[in-house]
Amino acid sequence: MPQGSGFDPERDRLTVDLLSMENAVLSIDIDPGSMELQRSTAKYSGTSQTPAEGAIRLKVRPSKSGNTYSLLVSGRGLDMSGATASMDLRVNVGSHAVSQTFDLRNVRGKLLYP
């Protein structure tokens, strides 16, 4: 996120999209006020919009300085067949957007990062 911006889970909508070259592989849209706060960590448990089945867990945690955030997304029972070795990650927090392209590595038939 841009310098000086922050994340308030009570006020900001959070959208996470994981895209391959062909299509959306994973899409999560979290309404303001839908995340549980534990200390400084915001947590979400629910389902994704794409693919429709499966469970999602998401955590947003600020750094000690409060200037950056870590985002952890995990899932179970998701159809990730559309994933490719090169993926685009797009994160929208309120009116701020961040995107990054990264490469996954194939380990015994599973695509992993890093």
Q: What is the pTM of this model?
A: 0.86
State percent of the chain over pLDDT 70.
95
Give the pLDDT mean for 52-74: 86
Whether residue 100 contacts residue 83, with contact meaning beta carbons closer than 8 Å, is answered with: no
Q: How far apart are the C-alpha atoms of 105 and 113, rounded to whole Å? A: 6
Give the pLDDT mean for 65-80: 84
Q: Provide the pLDDT confidence category of residue 2 given band limits of 50, 70 and 90.
A: low
pLDDT confidence of residue 91: 92
State percent of the chain over pLDDT 90.
44
